[in-house]
Structure 1
């Protein structure tokens, strides 16, 4: 019977790993580990604007096939921290690749992960990695009152008569005390119950016989004795949160009314839990890492056109047959630039913005998960910042142009401090007039390129005149076909064609308006 259920479970796990099910995600909860822990000093953080600009939340959803809330949080944190090559960055990928190839080991770990309690772990994360809330309790007072409660209840039951009135009185007082501390103790016992599941799962993983070098498994194995001690302690602390049996729930409720069990156990155990906090953190992070590596192994299996990047100090970006992971019917592009920044021109909807997003996303994936969507990748070790989805700040009274000014001023301050970044800028200063847009953009872009790499898109081909010394010119163009107007292929040079008026005509603007617009455009060009 056990063999039958194991076989059925393995089959289900295999199907989900090969063809994952999509579901919604609560990023408020998923962000908890990232917000509660300090990154390695060697790591850099992807800021909120860049994460949003590059649609990294959607990229995360595509990669995330984790089984646990802890795994989700770990993967999110991993994708927000840019790491240096070598060490953990490459080691994690090696483990993911190993789990892709060794189905037996992968499924053993997946079965163990099923033991982690389902549900939101954000409150657990914040308590564990920040500070356990301590309820001010006197051990002596709790013990004396608990003993007095038991004695009074037994005495009243045996003597009877007038003393029976003491039974509801004691129960009522204990109920009032429980209610007074309920918010704190319920939250804490829930955390203990969740941590009990984490530690128990860690122990099960540590008991597995795995010959491969998996660092997180090895660390759990080394701490197995301490993990067993913590598991027993947490089981005692969290028994009142065990919702698997009605009898146990009711029994624990009555026990709390008689001797304030939760408060009694908490007061005697909290210092021991805090003493073991570092081991519990190791269990938490190991579960998250193992779950994350299994999710990445699934992603690698489902995406054949990926490669491991070569990350170096040189300002060189080389990508062969690269593409954006969120585009299903993608057109791959190859690109190489040594040191120079890039000015990308082209018609509307030709692929300019998608291209600079592709560069940014692949550099982030290279430095967080150690793979790129390309057949070959040579990339610099740069931090990534973007200005793409700039919007009006209506509540702050900021215009589109002013919001972009502020963002690009941040880039200039970074440049003053040494730069060494990749700046991605879409349609620079498109919120102002042509003369000032070109003049301002040229001055800013020249400065940013002094010690960083800049990828900027624009319709202002005049910028090419001012930027040729520091920028290589690239463009996308139209095919001339009405059914497939763009081929989305990157070319060297500057785009000389325009399509804004043609698009107006294609979507059904009145003919007399588009005709008049064409005449005006020609007149403006003739007048210079």
Structure 2
């Protein structure tokens, strides 16, 4: 058999094998997408937080502070962990816009899309398939085009350089020696250019490649959604219009073992194909940064709707009701990050003190209210059987720590954290304030005095504040001004148990000394501590006799 026929047969077999494998992979991917819906996110699809944060940090200035979740509140509520727990996105576009949306309390509604994805398996599978094609790519640098168009500029004269080797090939037909010289010089010139500009261009090529892919697949998503959701898809359609000339594909990166892609990579090196397409795409991207931002947001909103639909499938959530009364009311509220969490009611219509012993659940309860108050306003879901509130800012002062970089002690850091809440209350407007262990960085007398003054001030300002505390004295001082609720434990000789159910009124129990007993501290310590505590509760003072007495 002649050699050309053998080569042709090999090529046909390779193409047939590649085609069959391609369709098999597509079928497997669609099945995987269907099976993944309603399941927690997989670790291998996770995003690097330092990459995802870049988008929010770049666009945060566009949103007023009173409509955003500030960094202290984000840290207090462990929202990075919450983001990881709900991040079932298929692309970096979706994860970035989801992370940004969780920082906002004025995000546009996505309910029609969410319900469509809950009910229509075929639609959500095809949309997810498109988003998977965009893919995950950490540190893709597209934010440079989104928010700083001057960060990248076209460089060089690549189209002219690319023609030189081709001209040499044509010349070689008539003058082989001269043609080969021109080809060699042209390739050498191109290789020198690549070496000279590779650091400037190659990183940008990856960003342009990812942006081009998102734009191209955005058109497919628009086609899928436009018939059913013309209004929701209009932003995407309008944003894509000025970007229609952006090349749909950049030259492929080399994939080891694939001869076709290796051949394309060699042509890239010889003819600067990727540099040329990069210049062309870049010129369109930097000319329409607003359009690219809108494409990013529109694709991200579609993917957020998918993620919320998946969350609704696997978790008990509700659609919140927004009303005009300054309050938060909920039934069977849980903390979304606590496994087998105990549901509790919420009636946060007046300022409230939550008291209770160590580990009784009061801090988790306060955080659960704050988290659902945020997610109600940006995801349209609360982790409760029912949830209603008036829209407003959510601010917390909880997980305080020393800041050695700023030279702040614990107490100074706590004062600065609380000052944010004072400023928000002074501005007026609707703000929900959540405090855990107020002013615990100072002595007992000043802590209770300052805490009383601060909580009274919030109450007189008309702000709603909910504060978790160990201080029984605080519940007594503010009994006529704030509602008291508490969590309680059950103590037996064998163990201490908690039911994690919120109860009316202030706490009447403590468990610190019982916990010392539980962990087998020496009886001399626990008995002395118990005697001193009982004497203080009876006389409301410490005596010199107590301080000087020795262990019995």
**TM-score with structure 1 length normalisation?**
0.87
Determine which of 300, 313, 318 is the counterpart of 1:307: 318
- Structure 1 pair 373–298 and aligned structure 2 pair: CA distance change class (3 A): same
Shift of 1:395: 3.6
Match of 2:143 in 1: 125
Match of 1:438 in 2: 448
Match of 1:494 in 2: 506
Determine which of 517, 525, 549 is the counterpart of 1:513: 525
Match of 1:22 in 2: 42
Structure 2: distance between partners of 1:254 and 1:9: 31
Match of 1:286 in 2: 298
Per-residue Cα deviation, 1:255-279 (whole angstroms, up to 9, x for no partner): 544x544444555554334345444
SS of corresponding position for 1:82: coil
Quick check: 1:60 aligned with 2:80? no
C-alpha contact (below 8 Å) 1:240/1:249 kept by paired residues: no
C-alpha contact (below 8 Å) 1:344/1:458 kept by paired residues: yes
SS of corresponding position for 1:37: helix
SS of corresponding position for 2:441: coil
Structure 2: distance between partners of 1:66 and 1:234: 22
Shift of 1:32: 2.6
Question: Higher mean Cα deviation, 105-114 or 19-28?
Answer: 19-28
Quick check: 1:201 aligned with 2:217? yes
Determine which of 89, 106, 112 is the counterpart of 1:83: 106
C-alpha contact (below 8 Å) 1:476/1:495 kept by paired residues: yes
C-alpha contact (below 8 Å) 2:69/2:103 kept by paired residues: yes
Match of 1:213 in 2: 229
- Which sections of structure 2, spanning at least 5 residues, go unmatched? 1-19, 541-552
C-alpha contact (below 8 Å) 1:308/1:366 kept by paired residues: yes
Query: Within 5 A, what are the aligned runs for 1:381-396?
Result: 381-396=391-406
Query: Within 5 A, what are the aligned runs for 1:7-406?
Result: 8-23=28-43, 24-38=46-60, 39=62, 44-83=67-106, 88-89=108-109, 92-120=110-138, 122-131=140-149, 133-135=151-153, 137=155, 139=157, 171-208=187-224, 211-213=227-229, 215-220=231-236, 229-230=244-245, 233-235=247-249, 238-239=250-251, 241=253, 246-257=259-270, 259-267=271-279, 270-304=282-316, 306-338=317-349, 340-406=350-416
Question: Higher mean Cα deviation, 329-338 or 354-363?
Answer: 329-338
SS of corresponding position for 1:67: coil
Per-residue Cα deviation, 1:45-72 (whole angstroms, up to 9, x for no partner): 1011111111112221221111111111
Structure 1: distance between partners of 2:337 and 2:351: 25
Structure 2: distance between partners of 1:198 and 1:136: 21
Structure 1: distance between partners of 2:47 and 2:284: 35
Shift of 1:216: 4.4
Structure 2: distance between partners of 1:256 and 1:8: 35
C-alpha contact (below 8 Å) 2:48/2:138 kept by paired residues: no
- Which sections of structure 1, spanning at least 5 residues, go unmatched? none
Shift of 1:358: 0.9
Question: Higher mean Cα deviation, 180-189 or 408-417?
Answer: 408-417
C-alpha contact (below 8 Å) 1:189/1:241 kept by paired residues: no
C-alpha contact (below 8 Å) 1:505/1:511 kept by paired residues: yes
Structure 2: distance between partners of 1:484 and 1:150: 83
Structure 1: distance between partners of 2:286 and 2:382: 41
Structure 1: distance between partners of 2:420 and 2:447: 18
Q: Supply the RMSD in Å over aligned alpha carbons.
A: 3.1
Count of residues in correspondence between the two structures = 514
SS of corresponding position for 2:37: helix
Question: Higher mean Cα deviation, 291-300 or 191-200?
Answer: 191-200
SS of corresponding position for 1:49: helix
